[in-house]
């Protein structure tokens, strides 16, 4: 459980079991939602209320985001990693593949392809590779990339506040860092080696990011590692805690669900699609203005449905290996972080979102607004 949550896991579990359908209906009818309402939305009883939850979540989404949905793409720069997260294809103990770190020229080549899709919002992703993909490396590539993209965010590895600040000043405006699981015991079993084995240091890194001034702070739990309802409570509590501390920054939530990885990993607490949808709807019903992300780990149909009802951001045409956009051979042979379930082009994703009545936005941010 998120350490600053005032409820214990036992309290939460017994409360969730006690929620009735009537409680959940009352929460759904309320004008504004409390944390108790959030708990009611994720309760087993609320699973019978999905059509009504969809309808209200879609209305809230329309109130705050209009008919828009933002589309972005990730750019993987390195699959070297000094950590050994058992669920990840990049883990250090998985030695069957050659690793790759892109040079600046290769990064720009990848970026040009992403830009040619019409994408204006870029997420830089890397394994924990502080020697090769160092702070200097990121400062250097971001100084070029910011000439091409209006918004750059990072999902790399925890850094000190001063390093985050350097990246912010170079042009990175969003930080995403998943805690993976908020359950300390499970965390310890899954993160055996490397700096990531320190649960508290990972939590503290998001605070360093807030202090460094990032405009957007993205949180997430990797769904499938631990009981999803417990993770949902921790994720929400983490979001509320960060929002209070860094009220100038926007808190964002992602809902990555484990998909097959090279080397194999079976989810410890599998989450099905209906449960994922309930979780995302609960977040939209409680966090009205928050950005909710859905990645290509999920199917095309599920992503379109999520975008209509709750998700504000969807990725498209994602390649999850360094060099995957320009080098088809690399894409087939190299080590991916996870299995992509929606490999549709940006054009196809946009078309299908338009069928849902949504207007696709490629430009998520204007730097002049933040200066």
Binding site for ligand SF4 (CB under 6 A): 81, 83, 85, 88, 90-91, 127-128, 196
In the complex, minimum distance from the CB of residue 83 to ligand SF4, in angstroms, rounded to a whole number: 4
- Please state whether 7 falls in left (phi above 0), alpha (psi between -120 and 50) or beta: beta
Terminal CA-CA length for the chain? 37
* Nearer CB in complex with ligand SF4: 99/238: 99
Tokens of 340: 């992509």
> Would you say 176 or 230 has its CB closer to ligand SF4?
176
Residue 131 pairs in a beta bridge with none
Q: Which is nearer to ligand SF4, 218 or 282 (CB)?
A: 218
Nearest approach in angstroms of CB 82 to ligand SF4 is 8
Residue 26 token pair: 């009352």
**Nearest distance from residue 71's CB to ligand SF4, in Å?**
24
Q: Which is nearer to ligand SF4, 43 or 259 (CB)?
A: 259
| Cβ 155 vs Cβ 368: under 8 Å | no
**Are 239 and 38 a contacting pair, CB within 8 Å?**
no
Minimum CB–partner distance for residue 155 and ligand SF4 (Å): 9
Match 């993209």 to its residue by tokens: 149
Both tokens of 55, joined, read 């309808």
Structure tokens at 108: 């720009």
CB of 91 to ligand SF4, least distance (A): 4
Largest CA distance in the chain: 59
Closest CA to 167 of 119, 133, 131, 196: 133
- Non-local CB neighbours of 353 within 8 Å, separated by 6+ positions: 69, 71, 304, 307, 314, 360
Q: CB-wise, 128 or 352, nearer to ligand SF4?
A: 128
- CB nearer to ligand SF4: pick between 127 and 209: 127
With tokens 């894409």, the residue in question is 331
Q: Are strands 151-155 and 291-294 parallel, antiparallel or unpaired?
A: unpaired
Report the residue number, 66 or 132, with the smaller CB distance to ligand SF4: 132
Q: What are phi and psi of 291, to 5 degrees?
A: -80, 130
The CA-atom distances, in angstroms, between 295 and each of 7, 72, 328, 355 are: 30, 10, 21, 19
CB-nearer residue toward ligand SF4: 68 or 186 = 186
Scan for tokens 């080098």, then name that residue. 327
Of 250, 77, 238, give the one whose Cα is nearest residue 156. Answer: 77
Which residue, 57 or 88, has its beta carbon nearer to ligand SF4?
A: 88
Shortest CB 296 distance to ligand SF4, Å: 17
Q: Report the alpha-carbon distance of residue 50 to residue 290 in Å, rounded.
A: 20
Nearest distance from residue 150's CB to ligand SF4, in Å? 27
Instruction: Round to whole Å and give the CA distance between 371 and 367.
Output: 7
Question: Does an H or E element contain 361, and which?
Answer: strand 359-361
Q: What's the min distance (Å) between Cβ of 253 and ligand SF4?
A: 18
Q: Is 101 helix (H, G, I), strand (E, B) or coil?
A: strand
Shortest reach from residue 57's CB to ligand SF4, in Å: 29
CB of 163 to ligand SF4, least distance (A): 17
Please say which residue, 196 or 257, places its beta carbon nearer to ligand SF4. 196
């Amino acid at each position: 459980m998120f350490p600053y949550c005032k409820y214990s896991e036992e309290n939460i579990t017994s409360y969730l079991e006690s929620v009735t359908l009537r409680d959940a209906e009352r929460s759904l009818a309320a004008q504004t939602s409390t944390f108790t309402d959030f708990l009611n939305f994720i309760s087993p009883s609320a699973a019978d209320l999905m059509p009504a939850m969809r309808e209200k979540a879609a209305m809230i989404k329309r109130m705050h985001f209009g008919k828009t949905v933002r589309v972005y793409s990730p750019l993987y720069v390195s699959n070297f990693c000094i950590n050994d997260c058992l669920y990840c294809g990049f883990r250090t103990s998985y030695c069957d593949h050659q690793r790759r770190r892109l040079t600046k020229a290769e990064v720009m080549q990848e970026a040009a392809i992403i830009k040619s899709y019409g994408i204006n919002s870029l997420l830089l992703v890397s394994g924990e590779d502080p020697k090769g993909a160092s702070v200097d490396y990121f400062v250097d590539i971001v100084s070029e990339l910011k000439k091409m993209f209006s918004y750059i965010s990072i999902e790399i590895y925890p850094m000190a506040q001063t390093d985050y600040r350097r990246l912010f000043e170079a042009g990175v405006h969003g930080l995403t860092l998943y805690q993976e699981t908020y359950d300390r015991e499970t965390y310890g079993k899954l993160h055996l080696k490397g700096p990531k084995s320190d649960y508290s240091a990972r939590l503290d890194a998001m605070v360093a990011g807030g202090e460094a001034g990032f405009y957007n702070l993205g949180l997430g739990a990797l769904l499938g590692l631990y009981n999803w309802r417990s993770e949902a409570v921790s994720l929400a509590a983490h979001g509320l805690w960060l929002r209070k501390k860094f009220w100038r920054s926007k808190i964002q939530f992602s809902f990555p669900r484990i998909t097959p990885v090279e080397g194999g990993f079976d989810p410890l607490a599998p989450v099905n699609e209906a449960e994922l949808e309930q979780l995302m709807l609960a977040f939209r019903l409680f966090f009205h203005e928050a950005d909710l992300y859905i990645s290509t780990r999920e199917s095309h149909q599920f992503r379109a449905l999520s975008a209509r009802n709750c998700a504000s951001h969807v990725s498209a045409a994602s390649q999850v290996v360094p060099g995957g956009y320009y080098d088809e051979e690399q894409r087939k042979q190299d080590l991916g972080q996870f299995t992509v379930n929606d490999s549709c082009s940006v054009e196809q994703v946009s078309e299908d979102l338009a069928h849902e009545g949504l207007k696709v936005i490629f430009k998520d941010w204007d730097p002049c607004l933040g200066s």
